[in-house]
Amino acid sequence: MSSCCDEMPQENIKNDVNNTKYDSIDDNSSTSFLPIQNAPIDKKAKNPWVPITLILGASFIFTQFYDIQFTKKSNSTSTDATVNTGSTINSKSSVDTTNIQNEVLPVDGVVLPIKWGDIGKKMIDSGVIDEDKFRQLFGETISVDQEKLLTGVWTDEVILNQENSRFFLDVLWAFGLGNKNPILTEGEMTNEQYGGAGNFASTGGWTLANGDAMDHYSMHTFVTLTSEQQELVDQVSRGIFRPCCGNSTHFPDCNHGMAMLGLLQLLSANGATKDEMFETALGVNSLWFPQTYIDLAMYFQEQGQDWKDVDPATVLGQEYSSAQGYQATRAKIQSLPKPQSSGGGCGA
């Protein structure tokens, strides 16, 4: 599968060698050496430059194979903790990184207020998911529950968590791509300046279909929305951005955008309110881009606001959840958690 982008990487933080002080040479006290004319040569005398040359040569060769870093010795007993794994955490900070991670990525996952039924089977029957290709991708990692979600009838709660987030990303991607919706046929995806809807990562990158992905683009009726439900999807999708790019869900040009569009349709079809849709979308986006939202939670914590009190629609907006907005916000964070594994790229 093609990939368009990954979650924004964390910077590598290296030890600063510029703090090291070296003894300077005073040019005014240097000794001048003048050539000695017609001095007799003692062949038995040792040349003092030979050992110096050997030492310098050995040092040069050594540095070609090893990195040497110098740090100024400190007698300080500071409690600031420096983690040599890619980030620095100030232990004096009032930010509780462990608590933040648990709030952003709840162990119990995110309950999706939808009825799944036999949607997986319908997608296989329609061809938007080629079962053989899908199984080849996931191999033996498909759990018993995922097997039922994919090929059977699922009547229990639908819970998205850290273990199955990739599975749901792909099945929701297929749903968003295949389900008939005017956002796909009349929205930004059809703008002529992009050369057609088939040129995006969300369409050209979906190679798990039976045939070409565009053969299924907005071609199937997995759920049908009323005009009010469609209006809600249209409105909410314009307010949900993703940190892998600068576009909203209304312009689902990558897999995360297309999957979120599919989820919004399912939420609306099942009677979710606008607030419930934003709240669910934030939980799902956090599982797809964990480090992004841990960072954002830390930013709000530093502003004196707990993650549970932050308005989901605000966090999901362009100011914080777009690629540009996230990077601008991240630059303001005074302390950062140890980097976690990033979310998936924009391909299956």
Average pLDDT, the chain: 80
Give burial (CB, 10 Å; 0-12/13-18/19+) of 93. Answer: middle
Residue pair 319/325 in contact by the 8 Å Cβ criterion: yes
- pLDDT for res 80: 32
- Asked if 10 and 342 count as a contact pair (C-beta separation under 8 A), the reply is no
- Mean pLDDT value of segment 142-165: 97
The per-residue pLDDT for 94 is 58
Structure tokens at 113: 């207020």
Q: Which two tokens stand for residue 288?
A: 């797809």
**β partners of residue 158:** 112
Report whether pLDDT(218) > 80.
yes
In the chain, what percentage of residues exceed pLDDT 70?
Answer: 69
| Interval 17-53: pLDDT, tens | 333 333 333 333 333 333 333 334 344 444 454 454 4
Please tell me the distance from the alpha carbon of residue 243 to that of residue 327, in angstroms, as a whole number: 9
Tell me the pLDDT tens digit for each residue of 264-310. 999 999 999 999 999 999 999 999 999 999 999 999 999 999 999 99
Nearest to 323 by CA among 302, 282, 292: 292
CA-based nearest residue to 101, from 303, 307, 329: 307
- Compare 3 and 135 and report the one with higher pLDDT: 135
Check residue 96 and give its pLDDT: 76
User: pLDDT confidence of 97, banded at 50, 70, 90?
Assistant: confident
pLDDT of residue 98: 84
Return the axis-axis angle of helices 323-330 and 290-302, rounded to nearest 10°. 50
**pLDDT > 90 fraction of the chain, expressed in percent and rounded:** 66
* CB < 8 Å & 24+ apart, contacts of 96-99: 96/301, 97/294, 97/298, 97/335, 97/337, 97/338
Q: Name residue 335's beta-bridge partners.
A: none
pLDDT above 90 (res 348): no
Sole residue written with tokens 């061809």: 127
The pLDDT, as a whole number, for residue 17 is: 33
Tokens of 332: 């303001």
Give the span between the Cα atoms of 39 and 48, in whole angstroms: 17
Beta bridge partners of 81: 89
What is the Cα gyration radius of the chain? 29
